[in-house]
Amino acid sequence: RKAREEAERSQPATTRDGHATEIAANVNRPDQVADAIGWGAEGVGLMRTEFLFLERDHAPDEEEQYQTYLSMLEALDGRPLVVRALDIGGDKQVAHLNLPHEENPFLGVRGARLLLRRPDLLEPQLKALYRAAASAQKPDGTQPLAIMFPMITSIKEVITLRAICERIRVELDAPVVQIGIMVEVPAAAALADKLAEHVDFFSIGTNDLTQYVLAIDRQHPDLAAEADSLHPAVLRLIRRTVDGAAQYQRWVGVCGGLAGDPFGAALLVGLGVSELSMSPRDIPAVKARLRASRRDELADLALKALTCDSAEEVRALDKGKPA
Ligand code: PEP
Ligand code: MG
């Protein structure tokens, strides 16, 4: 039985009516890639590069980052790798960067806001990524590496970041890579139809999106249970993001915690998401759930969820579980 379970892990998450969803892993360190593939990951949908800066006393330089990304691409052997540019701030503080104290870091200079203020952090990272992309280009011209920017709230940020990417790419004579953004602030979901023109993909960060939509600190000891990504307000913004992306035929993934919950994953596929990235150990249960489903049923489920009054009501749609 164990052998069959392990053989099944690497099989795709294809619904009974033949619709495949790409299943990827969230990793924080390069050495987690092999383990993720063992759990059945078809790629890495979120590499949180802030962990390369944490738990040490200085920032990794361009060369060290290049070696790191290259080793991940090698371990992935042609599978996709979405690297998120440094997302410092909020819950991820790095002492050696000596950033000013903020009263409310979740609403402060976080993610893309910091990157745009600190070319000394952004540029070495982008150079390392484009150098890695040059080594990873496949003979058929496809490119497994993609770059993603966190905490985007405006069109202008995206245009500026893309221009910096393109300048560096040309300087290094590197190949084109897909450039995407995290949709994790309500502003980005609201503007999805506009942002889609300027990006290759969206990856929805349901952890932060839920926090910012519901105005609940994601780490709050008393409120964390209420920060439920199944809240219909969150689901409606996910739908809006999918609809906006469709206007420019962009793909949409989800890399927040909702993607790793089997019912959440089913709902997300019903909402039109085509890639789910999660903690490696969540992969087998998510794949099993999707394989047991039909896409048209998931689409119906999603439509019902969008009309619910509360997260509890959405959860009660999960058949087989008591309401
Ligand atoms: C998210 O916000 O959902 C996300 C995936 O990013 P992080 O948890 O790293 O903030
Ligand atoms: Mg986030």
Q: Whose CA is nearest to atom 6 of ligand 1?
A: 205
Contact 155, 198 (CB under 8 A): yes
For residue 322, what pLDDT is reported?
Answer: 42
For residue 321, what pLDDT is reported?
Answer: 53
Q: Tell me which ligand sits closest to the C-alpha of residue 204.
A: 1
Mutate to test the pocket of ligand 1, among 82, 93, 182, 268 (most ligand atoms within 8 A of CB): 182
For residue 105, what pLDDT is reported?
Answer: 92
List beta partners, residue 145. 81
Q: What is the pTM of this model?
A: 0.96
How long is the chain?
323
pLDDT by 10-residue block (mean), the chain, 323 residues = 83 97 97 97 97 91 98 97 94 87 93 97 98 94 96 98 98 98 98 98 98 93 92 98 98 98 98 98 97 97 98 90 44
- What residues does ligand 1 touch, defined as CB less than 6 Å away? 46, 48, 87, 184, 205-208, 255-256
Going by C-beta distance under 8 Å and a sequence separation of 6 or more, which residues neighbour residue 253?
Answer: 22, 24, 45, 82, 201, 202, 203, 204, 259, 273, 274, 275, 276, 277
Here the ipTM equals: 0.99
Helix residue spans in the chain (DSSP H): 2-9, 33-38, 62-76, 112-117, 119-136, 155-172, 186-190, 192-195, 206-214, 232-246, 262-271, 283-291, 295-306, 311-315
